[in-house]
Each structure stands twice: as C-alpha cells, then as structure tokens.
Structure 1
Amino acid sequence: MEHSILLGMLAACAAATTIKWLLAREADHRRANAQTDELLRSNRALRMASRCRVALLHAGSAEEMMAAVCKAISEEGGYSLVWTGLSMAGSSRDLLASEIQGTPAGRFAAAAGGLQRGCSCEGIALDVMSDAKSRLRHGTSAEFGYPSVLALPLGSASGDAAPIGVLCVYSIAPCAFDSDDVQVLQELATDLALGLSNMHAARSRRAAEQASACHAQHDPATGLASRSLFNDRLRQALVAAERTGRKVAVLALSMDRYRGVKASLGADACSALLMHAASAMKSCLHEGDTVAHLLGNEFAVILSDLINDDDVLPVAGKLLEAIKAPMRWQDNIVNTTASIGIALMGEDGGEPSVMLRSANSAMAHAVGHGGNRFRFVAQEMNERASRMFALEAELRSALLHNEMVVHYQPRAALGDGCLTAAEALVRWQHPTRGLVPPAEFLPLAESSGLIVPLGAWVIREVCRQQRAWRDAGLPMVPVSINLSARQFREEGLVEHIEVTLEEYDVPSAMLSFEITESMVMEDLDDAVARMNELKAIGVKLSMDDFGTGHSSLARLRLLPLDQLKIDQSFVRQLGSEQADEAICRSIIDVGHNLNMQIVGVGVETLLQREWLRAHYCDEMQGCFFGRPMAAQDFAQLLAADRPRSNTMLPLWKAINYKV
C-alpha cells in the first residue's frame, strides 16, 4: 500500500511538472507571438510611414499628396477605408471629401458619392474639426458600419492653428487601434497637414511672384504691355522675321486731344480715354501683335509676320478709325483722333530702340500736319500710302458708279476643242486711266474689305449675263467665279447666291466657284462645312492653282470638289521640264481617281496642249484657245458653238481611261 501511495505521489509530481512545463511553454509561445505581432506591427508602421513621407516629398499637387497618403495608409497599414476631408472655404462645419481609398462597406457605400461632392461635418468629422483633437470609436455604432474608426485633425503639431481638415481611418476589426497605432497615425496626419500647408504657401508664393511679374510687364492703368515687355517682344519678332523672311513694323501712336480733355474734364476722364484707346486698338490687331502703353498718351504697336510693307496700311487705317469712335464720359461725349508714326523693319537696321525712335519721329510729323493721320519714316512710303488711299476712294466710287466690268476667258475640251465653260474675271474700267489691271486693285479690295461687295456684284453680273445670253437664244455654258478668302468666310454667301440664281432664273449647275488651297488649309473643318453648303444648292466647286499650296492627299479626299485646275507654273514647262511633267501626271491621275475633272491653266502653245491631251487632261484654259474677252465677244463664241452638245462626256471617261 505504501508503494502505491508512493507511486501516486510520484505520478502527481510528474503531472504537476508537466503542467508547469506546458504552461511555461505556452507563456513562451504567447510571448513569441506577441513579439512577432509587435515586430510585424512595427514593420507595417515603418512601411506605412516611409511610403507616406515619400509621397509627401514627391507629390506635385495637394490632390496627389492626399491620394498617395490615403493609399499608403490603406495598403501598408491594412485598414479597410481611409479618406481625407478638407474644410470648405468660408465654413468650419462643412468638409469636402478629397480622397477615398479602400473598399466602402455598410452605410458608407451609399454615402461615398455624396462625400466626394461635399458632406456635412457630422459625427466624428464634426467632433474632430470643432474640438481639434482625435476621436476614437469602437463598437457597432461607429461610423458607416465599421466597428473601429479613428479620426485625426489635420493641424499643426502644436495644435495652435485651426485644423484644415480631417483624416479618417476605418477598420472592420473591433478595437483595431491601440495607443501605438494612434500615435503613428497622428504623426502621419501632422506630416500631411504640414505638407498641405507648405504646398499652399508655395502656391501662394508663386501666384504672388507671377502677379508681381505681370505687374512689372503690364501697365496698371490700361492692362497693356509695358515698355520692357514691348522691347522684349520686338526683339523676338525681329529674330523670327529674320528666320522666316517676313516683315515687322513698329507704330508709335499719340492721342491728339489728350491735353485738352485733361484740362476740361480732368484726370479721370483722361484715364477713361486711355482705356477707350487701348480697347479700340486691341480690337484691330491680330493675336500675335502687341500693343503697349509707354507713357502718358503715347502707345506703341508691333505688327509682326507681315508679308510685305503694304500690309501695314490697312491696319494703320483701322487704328485711326477705331480711335475716332466717340467715348461717353459722365454727361459728355468725348471725340478724339490719333497721330501714328510707322517704322518698317530694315529702314534702320532692325534695332528695337532705333525702330521705336524712328516711329516716334514719324509720329511727330503726323502731329505737325494736323493729326488724325499716319506718316512713315521714308517719304516714298508716305507717297505710296497716299496713292493707295486715293485708289481706295476711287474704287469705292467705282462700285457706286458701275465702272466695274466682267470679262470671260473661255475653256475648251481637249478632246475636240469645243467650248465647255468660261472663267469670270473682273476688270475696272476707269474713266481716265482706262482698264486698270486686277493686280492693282484686287489686293487693295481684299485688305480694305471692299472685296465682299465687289464679289457680290460679280455674282449678280454673271447671273444677269447668263440670262441675257439665254434670252438671245445662245447656249449656256458654266461660268466659274473666283472667291476671295474673305468672301468665302462671309456669312450669307450661300443665301446671296441662291437669291441671285432665283432672280435671274439661272440653273445652279451653270455656276462654279473657284477657291485656293490656302483658303481651306487654315481651318479644314470649317472650309469643308462651307463647301458642303455651296454644294447643297447645286453649284460646282473648283480648286484653283492646285499644286502650289500645301494640300495633302488625305485632305484632298475630304474636299467636295468637282474640278482641279493645274497651276500654270507647271503647265508652262510641259515638254521641256521632266519634274513639271511628273507633277502634272500625278495631279491628273489623283484627280481622276477622286472623280474630279482636270483643267490645265495657262496653255499658250501647241506643245502644251498636245502634252495635256496625250495624258488625258479634260480641259484647257489659256491664250492658245482664247484670252479674256468682253461679254459681247464671248457671245460670238457661244453663237459659233451653238450645235455643240452640252452632255459630252469628259475625254478620260469616253476613252475608257485606265490607271
């Protein structure tokens, strides 16, 4: 029995030892797991903090900074949802939720869209913003259905300044935030607030620097360029002109009645007058031009990218007219004029300071001659300007007194030489100078705006003449009319053509309108839309001088054209210049493949005609067949061609042309 008792005691001791060992081992295991968890937590916190600080250093904007920080906390910290809210301007109780990272759950899924637009500072966010301290909640009543929520203010480390927003972190695990987690996240919130504040300060500093630079480069009274900006842009314009071969002009301008207005109405009226002049001048200039207010009533203008010296004339005229517009000041109507001096690039070596000084000298001459005029540095330019303005006045008178006439240059089919069409060419029958060449008055009409009424008159005259030929029993042939760039863009062109065709009862197929490549290359979409409007009323469209512009095949196929006219510069060398022959062959092939008719322009010799006929060109126009002639002379051609069929197929279709 004693032996049994002894065995029992030994067994009990062994069991107690085993239990004690197991308990000790379990405690060691718990300590090891706790150390592992702590190490994992520390590593997670380090990764999260490191990634957040990298984001703070490299973010390019506040939005990018908040997005990167929220993403780092969500992904590296293992939290379910993270978002930042910034205080909305003028409100301490409204937040704009700027960034949301993670997978929304519970009530937050429905509220997420509203948070992105702006949400009320309710619950945790409101508490944090109002009390400027973190809020920690656990339990099922926490925000948006998450058991654990931590909201941290985005404020300074000292807590003196009001918070600029809030950082909210959500977890699906109960009691997810201990003191260490809160401390790490609080430090990140402080760093984020500091980063946002620094970025805002840098943005404000850049805005102030830009405002200061803008103030230094612009006149505060008028908002125009200052003298320093004027000089800088003039140097740039001169360098660009040397590279491109274009021209630059400097205009010095002064207000003729400035001192009188100041003496009678005061300084405020003069300030209003300067603003009036600034607005008037800007309305006359292109986007690339510069107008500056230098001192008092003195202005300066840079006209860049001019093709030739004469291009400055219409601009100077527009400036004078614009400034003459009356200005209302309180109960007074103020009328004033301006004096302009013009210096052209090359007259004084192209130095900015010399050009401005020369323009001021020319302006003084304009003032000395009574004002309300402009003067050039070179006397020959003044004489030329006088002639140009006199010619413009005569041209206006010519339109009123029916001095314009239309001549017609015939076109012929290369297959049989029959008359097929004509081109209308406007001429000026001057009462004393005789027939004025188009090269003398058409550029002036274009620059002065007279090209629009002149073009409208040509359309009416062609339709009237078509009706007169038909009433005389003559066959009708299509007549083509050249459209200027300004006329092509003019609103109401299509309506004017429709009304004129109806008035004279002329079929729309008897009119064709010629445009150039440059007219459609400036704005292809707008040009195609305008061409389609013309095509919709039944008229034909032709591209003149094809091959001299910058058309590409990709653009050409988009244009609703009926005809291509090979420029005469290529036709002139046919039979002797292989390069021109290759270009003509290509134009003919491309045009036919696009179902267009091809016309060779400027045909003057038998060799040129035979070359075009041998290569299946459809029609020819030039002195070889007929020069431009008056309407009565063209009527004789129509009478001689009376038996011709108007339905003859083009040569390239009739002979089964193959590419």
Structure 2
Amino acid sequence: SEEGIMITDPNKVILLVNPAFSKMVGYTSEELLGETPKKLSSGHHDRSFYAAMWDSINTFGHWHGEIWNRRKNGEIFPEWLAISTVNDLSGKTTHYIGIFSDISERKNAEEQIRYLSSHDALTGLPNRMLFKDRLENAIAFAARSHHKVAVLNLDLDQFKMLNDSLGHTAGDELLRCVTSQLKVCVRDTDTLCRPGGDEFFIALANMPDTDSISTMVDKILEHIAKPFVLEGRHLSLSCSIGIAVYPDDGGNFETLMKRADKAMYQAKDAGRNTYRYFTEQLNSDSFEYMRITHELREAVKCKQFTLHYQPQIDLATGNVQGVEALVRWNHPLEGLIPPGRFISIAEQNGLIVEIGEWVLNEACRQAVAWQMAGLPPIVIAVNMSAVQFKRGNVENLVRSALDNSGLDPQYLEIELTESILLHDMDYMLSLLKDLKDTGLKLAIDDFGTGYSSLAYLKKFKIDRLKIDQSFVGDIAIDPNDAAIVRAIVQMAHTLNLRVIAEGVENQEMLEYLSSCQCDEVQGYHFARPMPPEAFAAFMADKT
C-alpha cells in the first residue's frame, strides 16, 4: 500500500507498521514497535482534540480527519488519518488500525491558491479584496483613536507608452521596480495594493492630520521620480495620486475608493506628476456630470433639442452676411439650457456625435425652408466637434445632410476648432479637401485660443477665421487684446482670409473692429440668438 498503516493493541502500543509508514515518518519499524502514537505527536493539538477523537472511536468504532504529526527529523506535516477498531466475536476490542496519507502537497497547493486569491501574482502585493479588508480594519481603529486614514489612488503617468515601447516583459519588471520603491515609502501599519495594470492603492493608517499625509505623498512622488535602471537603460517615471481621507471624505471602503479615484483624475488634468485631495466641489461636479449624461441620453432619444440663430453682419455694407446655428436643449423641467452647460459633457460621453448630426441636418433643412419662404439665401454656419471628426464619418454626414435637405453647398459653412487640424495632418488635409470639393465653406472657430499655427492656415483651404470673444470683449480697455485682434485681422487678410469677430456687444467694440478692417461681426449689439421664426422676421426687416 502507498498509504501508511499502523496497527496497535488495545492499549495503543504499536505492533506493526508498513514500509510506506516508515518512509513517510522516517522511523524504521524496529524504532516504532513497542512505542505509542504519542511518539509522532506534533504538539499542534490540545487534549480536547484527542478526547473528541477517541470518544468517536469508542462510540462508533472509527474516526477520520486531518491531523498534524511529526517526522523523525522534526518536520511537522499534515496527514489524513482514519482509525478503526477491530473487535473479536464477543465485541471486545483487540486492535486499532490507523491508515494515513501525507497531504502536504495538497495543503501547500491550497495555501498557494489562498495566497493567490488575495495577492497580485506579479508583485506579491495584496489585491483589492485583501486591501478592502485591511482598510476596513484601519478605519475601525481610526474611529476609536480619532485619527485619520488616507486612501491613495496612484496611477503611473504614460506607462502604456513605455509598456508598448519596451515590451510587456520589461513593463512587468518596471512594475516590480515601482513596487520596491513604494515599499520603501510606506510603514508596516500601511497597506500597499496593486489591483492591476499600472494602478496602485495605498492605505495610510493612523495619520494625525492632513499635513502628515501630504508629507508621505511628497515622499512617494520623489521616490517614483528616481531613475530606474532596466535592461541597461535609465528610465524616469512619474505618477498622479488622488487622495480621499477618512472621516472627512467618507466612512466606508466604497465611498473612499470612488473619491480617491476622482481626485486622481484631477491630478491627471492638473498636468500629472502631482497629487490632489478630493473636494466636495469635485463630488458635486461628478454628480452633475452623471445627471446630465443620463438626461442627455433621454434628450437624444426624444429629440429635445432646438436651434437658435444669430446673424453675422458684413461691416462694409451692414447686410446680413450669414447666420450661425446654435443648439439649445429644451429640457422638459428646466426649459432652454445653453450649450455651455452640456456640450463639453456630450463630447466626453460621445453623445455629441448624435447631437451634432441632428444639428447639421436641422440647420440645412431650416436654411432651405427660409429660402422657400422667400428670404434671400445666406450662408449658415454649423459647429462640428473634434469627436465627430475622430469618428471618421464626417464627409458622408455632410453629404447626407446636403442631399436630404437640398441645400446648395455654397450656403453651408462648417466651423472647426484649431485642435482638429493638428492631429493626423495628412488625413485632415485629405478630408478637408474632399469637403471643399463639395462647394461648402470652412471656418476656424475661436481663433487665438488654441495653437494658432500659421502652418495649417497655409496648408488647409480655410475661408474664414473667427476671433474668439475672449479677445473681443476687452479690446476697448485692454491694449494687449486690441493688439491681438488687429494682428489677427492683418495676418488673415495677407492670407486672403475673411475675419469675423464674435461677442460684439457695444458701439465702442464695433468702431474698433471697423478701424481694424475686420470683415464681419456678430453679437448682442445686433441680435441675440433667436428661434427660426424670429430670425425670419429679423431678415424681413433688413430687406
């Protein structure tokens, strides 16, 4: 038998063991004969354990279970043991037979599984599950001691780029190096965790105040910034850290983790290689983002949008040169919501694609409707988001809007932001050329607020520059803004581009723009954005 077998007399004196038994425990049969099983006792079990075991044997005639014994060399090992009684015809016990198997490998495998279920395989750090358990213990202790617990969400900056460049093997080694640096920064009472990827969680326990937290976080940033030597190369890293503090920012694991995550993204937005604490304003912004996102989905589904139109005036003639279509959200409870409250959120969650498609189609349809009503044809300007261009379907979208409405392309102008033109320039050159070939016009919106590169003005076939109202608003009192506006107009004219200034609110602004020879203007001085019917009436008064 491969299992160890021991036979004793009724007094538990060993009479016989098989070779497998001797091999497992290290004793020869001669060394065990005449001894009792106590010779193998590990000391792991108390008297009550053995009392219960023999109570079962005497009552039922058998017992089986897990027990720890000791080999001859002193090693303690687990075994699965079954003990049975042997009785004669009168029912008197004559022998006990014990059969056992060494379960060390199974126990080791179980321990390894247990370890892997609570630790990260790459770094050996606790995983999210174990981190949650330790953080909750730290919070419970802090509640009694009136101290703070800081939860840090640490994300390595630009790690994906390094990982893709060096390869995943080197990336894994880099994560192990980061782990070593972080271990230097934390105390034995703190918990360092890697949930996955290039993200780490840290629980700083028993912290007296916020200043002490900041000191430790500064230390972490400093250590991560130290150069790493990997495969003979010196590499530099940085990280962004979001911090949520118990009890200030929350009293449980989920709340603190969510708020530390939000604060980490604030650190990313602040330029990386820094940290940010969670604030209530950040929480309010997040709730507002989620609320608007939810309601925007319903708005897209139910078409709760409408367009208002603001005229664009030719400074030389005073005539209406064009009109800009501006979207409004006709909220069922809040009424008309201006684009400043929802466009940026729509760009973040991708809903701007559906909204933008509706705006383009509706603007083209309305332009044709005005013409059919007898108004003179004018150019209608429609803003298009960078997200729409990234989706790669802009040309088909524009052609479809023109075909469906029947609008002559010469009366459509697409307004682009500067940032669109600086990414994948070859693709944009080709796309804008195709759009221009349809006969429509192109304008740069908010000129001066972005990169304002002369290179793209030379390469792309732009028709108009639109000076952002942030420059126009102070041209009468700020000589720097006045100089910028004048310079933009002169440069545009040199490149044979027309210039329109937005945000013109008074006569003083108008006179300065006229002196600069700006071509067109729009703003409250002439008219606010208005519904289609009001714009039609406005045009009727002008003709």
**Normalising by the residue count of structure 2, what TM-score does the alignment of the two structures yield?**
0.54
* Residue pair 1:418, 1:641 contacting (<8 A) in 2 also: yes
Matched, 1:448 2:356: no
Deviation of 1:614 (Å): 2.7
Matched, 1:602 2:503: yes
1:315-330 alignment, distance < 5 Å: none
Deviation of 1:352 (Å): 6.5
Secondary structure at 2:536 match in 1: helix
Q: Tell me which of 463, 483, 490 is aligned to 1:562.
A: 463
CA distance 1:375–1:481, shift in 2 (3 Å): closer
Taking the aligned partners of 2:523 and 2:212, their CA distance within structure 1 comes to: 41
Match of 1:462 in 2: 363
Deviation of 1:393 (Å): 0.4
Matched, 1:550 2:451: yes
Match of 1:407 in 2: 308
Taking the aligned partners of 1:357 and 1:391, their CA distance within structure 2 comes to: 24
Matched, 1:477 2:378: yes
CA distance 1:496–1:589, shift in 2 (3 Å): same
Matched, 1:628 2:529: yes
* Residue pair 1:253, 1:340 contacting (<8 A) in 2 also: no
Deviation of 1:483 (Å): 1.5
Q: Which has the higher helix share?
A: 1
Match of 2:61 in 1: none
Q: Which amino acid aligns with 1:570?
A: F
Matched, 1:593 2:460: no
Secondary structure at 2:326 match in 1: strand
Deviation of 1:340 (Å): 13
Which whole-Å deviations, capped at 9, do the CAs of 1:24-79 have from their partners, x for residues lacking one? Answer: xxxxxxxxxxxxxxxxxxxxxxxxxxxxxxxxxxxxxxxxxxxxxxxxxxxxxxxx
CA distance 1:340–1:621, shift in 2 (3 Å): farther
* Residue pair 2:327, 2:338 contacting (<8 A) in 1 also: no
* Residue pair 1:408, 1:424 contacting (<8 A) in 2 also: yes
CA distance 1:255–1:541, shift in 2 (3 Å): farther
Taking the aligned partners of 2:515 and 2:389, their CA distance within structure 1 comes to: 35
Q: Which amino acid aligns with 2:312?
A: R
Taking the aligned partners of 1:475 and 1:501, their CA distance within structure 2 comes to: 18
* Residue pair 1:573, 1:580 contacting (<8 A) in 2 also: yes
Q: Which amino acid aligns with 2:358?
A: W
Which whole-Å deviations, capped at 9, do the CAs of 1:382-425 have from their partners, x for residues lacking one? Answer: 34322321210001101111211111111001012111111111
CA distance 1:301–1:403, shift in 2 (3 Å): farther
CA distance 1:633–1:286, shift in 2 (3 Å): farther
Matched, 1:618 2:519: yes
Unaligned runs of 5+ in 1: 1-218, 229-251, 260-280, 304-338, 643-659
Match of 2:196 in 1: 299
Match of 1:351 in 2: 218
Deviation of 1:220 (Å): 9.4
Q: How many residues align?
A: 338
* Residue pair 2:304, 2:331 contacting (<8 A) in 1 also: yes
Which whole-Å deviations, capped at 9, do the CAs of 1:347-404 have from their partners, x for residues lacking one? Answer: 9535375997946978994548999x97765455334322321210001101111211
1:254-653 alignment, distance < 5 Å: 254=128, 287=161, 298-299=195-196, 349=214, 350-351=217-218, 358=243, 365=252, 367=254, 377-378=278-279, 380-642=281-543
Q: Which amino acid aligns with 2:196?
A: F
* Residue pair 2:379, 2:413 contacting (<8 A) in 1 also: yes
Q: Which amino acid aligns with 1:489?
A: K
Taking the aligned partners of 2:212 and 2:345, their CA distance within structure 1 comes to: 24
Deviation of 1:346 (Å): 11
Match of 1:64 in 2: none
Taking the aligned partners of 1:253 and 1:405, their CA distance within structure 2 comes to: 50
* Residue pair 1:255, 1:297 contacting (<8 A) in 2 also: no
CA distance 1:301–1:497, shift in 2 (3 Å): same
Q: Which amino acid aligns with 1:299?
A: G
Which whole-Å deviations, capped at 9, do the CAs of 1:574-605 have from their partners, x for residues lacking one? Answer: 34444333322322222122221111221112
Secondary structure at 2:342 match in 1: helix
Q: Which amino acid aligns with 1:559?
A: F
Taking the aligned partners of 2:211 and 2:379, their CA distance within structure 1 comes to: 48
Secondary structure at 2:293 match in 1: helix
* Residue pair 1:414, 1:619 contacting (<8 A) in 2 also: yes
Q: Which amino acid aligns with 2:195?
A: E
Q: Which amino acid aligns with 2:349?
A: S
Taking the aligned partners of 1:396 and 1:518, their CA distance within structure 2 comes to: 26
**Normalising by the residue count of structure 1, what TM-score does the alignment of the two structures yield?**
0.45
* Residue pair 1:340, 1:375 contacting (<8 A) in 2 also: no
Taking the aligned partners of 2:321 and 2:474, their CA distance within structure 1 comes to: 25
* Residue pair 2:193, 2:202 contacting (<8 A) in 1 also: no
Higher-RCO chain (CA-CA 8 Å, sequence separation at least 6): 2
Over the aligned positions, Cα root-mean-square deviation in angstroms equals 4.3
User: Please, which moves more after superposition, 619-628 or 380-389?
Assistant: 380-389
CA distance 1:631–1:287, shift in 2 (3 Å): farther
* Residue pair 1:475, 1:639 contacting (<8 A) in 2 also: no
Deviation of 1:543 (Å): 0.8
Which whole-Å deviations, capped at 9, do the CAs of 1:548-575 have from their partners, x for residues lacking one? Answer: 2222333321121000112223322334
CA distance 1:438–1:347, shift in 2 (3 Å): farther
CA distance 1:364–1:487, shift in 2 (3 Å): farther
